Each structure stands twice: as structure tokens, then as C-alpha cells.
Chains A and B, each alone.
Chain A
Amino acid sequence: GAVVSQHPSWVICKSGTSVKIECRSLDFQATTMFWYRQFPKQSLMLMATSNEGSKATYEQGVEKDKFLINHASLTLSTLTVTSAHPEDSSFYICSARDLSSQGSTDTQYFGPGTRLTVL
């Protein structure tokens, strides 16, 4: 089956620093990737839709200048949390949509998540 990886799996950083999280589709190409944030005991909240070769589409309330998304290739999207603060501590999860499933909505594969802790 399709595999999506994330790196790092966890990261601890100091307040004010920036953190980059990578999302890779390992055995398929993805024109579209999605970034979610999940707080403890809560559901996944979509942050943005990452489109290869174009600007990301952010959900309402998500600061695009704080959460920078780059989808440079069909297998890689990155999320950079700039000037991180303790309230940014969360579980960040990406998903990727298989390019070959164009027209179908049932092939969104999730990564294992990245635990970010900002001190």
C-alpha cells in the first residue's frame, strides 16, 4: 500500500526558533498534500492544502506567514513553523493524495505524525 513518511517524528525546540517538518510520499506521486494539527484528545484540524508547484491554500484562522508550506516536488511537502511558541506545541500530521486516483476521493494516505514541543 501507499506509504507516507514524516520527518522528524518528534522535535523539541526553544521558543522563537523555526522548525521544518517534511512529508514524503514514498511510492506514489502526490499533487496534493494536506497538513493537519491535532491537540491532545481532540480531532484533526485541517491547516492547509499543499499543491505541487503552486501556493498552499490555508484554512480560515491559520496564519500563512507562521506556517510556511512548500510543495516543491510530487513526493515532498514541507511545513515550517516559524518563530515557534509554546502554544504551537501539537501533533502535526500530513496526508497525501495519490495522483493516479485523479477524480476519486478515496485515496488519501496519512503520515505517522510529528510531535512538536516548544519550550
Chain B
Amino acid sequence: GESVGLHLPTLSVQEGDNSIINCAYSNSASDYFIWYKQESGKGPQFIIDIRSNMDKRQGQRVTVLLNKTVKHLSLQIAATQPGDSAVYFCAENNFGNEKLTFGTGTRLTIIP
């Protein structure tokens, strides 16, 4: 189903520490998941994606974990930097349906 953001969860992390951002999705038929980063006043920027036949995928300083059993997705950012401060959204869809459904979003603040 649709996720409507009424409140924006926040996460504050010390610079250099690792951060974990979580996302619960609702559609058990979803088989493709993406994490986006959105800075203030800008459009979403692709970070990393994962398909449902995987449970982990790594990129540069980022790792996405997928737990289909509990319909949970997480984004791990290693050694956070000030430039990582942004709102992070997860998005889901299923193959054959081009539409993305976005999660509520989490505001990540890096403390210097």
C-alpha cells in the first residue's frame, strides 16, 4: 500500500560513526527496493538498490540489507561524513509495475 509521511523520523550520528536507517515496507509482492538520498531543495538521488532474490548488497560505504520475512529494509552508511546529512527514503516496486512507492523517510544529521 501507499506510505504517507506524516512525521519524519530523525537520526543523529557522530561524524565517523556508522549509521543504520530502517524502512518497513508493506507490499509482500514487492521485489525491487531502492534507497534514495534527498538533500534540501533537491530531487532524490539514487544510492543503492537490491532485488528480492538477495538479502545483502554493498556499495561504496553503503550496505543494504533486506529481510523479506518481516518486510524490512535497512541502509547502513559506514564512516559517516557531513555530506551524508540528508533525508533518506526507501522505495519499493514489483517487476512489471513501473511505479515506485516511497517510504516515510528518515532525516540523518551528522554531528561534527
A43 is contacted by which of B43, B45, B95, B105 (Cβ under 8 Å)? B105
Interface assignment of A42: CB less than 8 Å from any CB of chain B: yes
Interface assignment of B16: CB less than 8 Å from any CB of chain A: no
Stretch in B1-9, B58-66, B67-75, B78-86 with 4+ CB within 8 Å of A: B1-9
Q: How far is the CB of A63 from chain B (nearest CB, A)?
A: 18
Interface assignment of B89: CB less than 8 Å from any CB of chain A: yes
- Beta-carbon contact of A43 and B98 below 8 Å: no
Closest chain B residue to A46 by CB distance?
B99
B49 is contacted by which of A93, A106, A109 (Cβ under 8 Å)? A106
- Beta-carbon contact of B98 and A106 below 8 Å: no
- Beta-carbon contact of A43 and B44 below 8 Å: no
Interface assignment of A75: CB less than 8 Å from any CB of chain B: no
- Beta-carbon contact of B44 and A110 below 8 Å: yes
Residues on A lying within 8 angstroms of B by beta carbon are 4, 6, 32, 34, 41-46, 49, 91, 93, 95, 97, 105-106, 108-113, 115
- Beta-carbon contact of A93 and B43 below 8 Å: yes
- Beta-carbon contact of B5 and A97 below 8 Å: no
Interface 1/0 per residue, B38-51 and A, CB below 8 Å: 00011111100100
B103 is contacted by which of A43, A49, A93, A110 (Cβ under 8 Å)? A43
Mostly, the B contact residues are loop
- Beta-carbon contact of A93 and B44 below 8 Å: yes
- Beta-carbon contact of A49 and B99 below 8 Å: yes
- Chain B contacts of A41 at CB under 8 A? 5, 7-8
- Chain A contacts of B13 at CB under 8 A? none
- Beta-carbon contact of B5 and A43 below 8 Å: yes
Q: How far is the CB of A38 from chain B (nearest CB, A)?
A: 9
Known: A42-B6, A105-B93; 7 extra A-B contacts, CB below 8 A, are A42-B5, A43-B4, A46-B100, A93-B43, A95-B43, A106-B32, A106-B34
Question: In the docked arrangement, what's the CA distance between A97 and B42, Å?
Answer: 19
Interface 1/0 per residue, B1-34 and A, CB below 8 Å: 0111111100000000000000000000000101
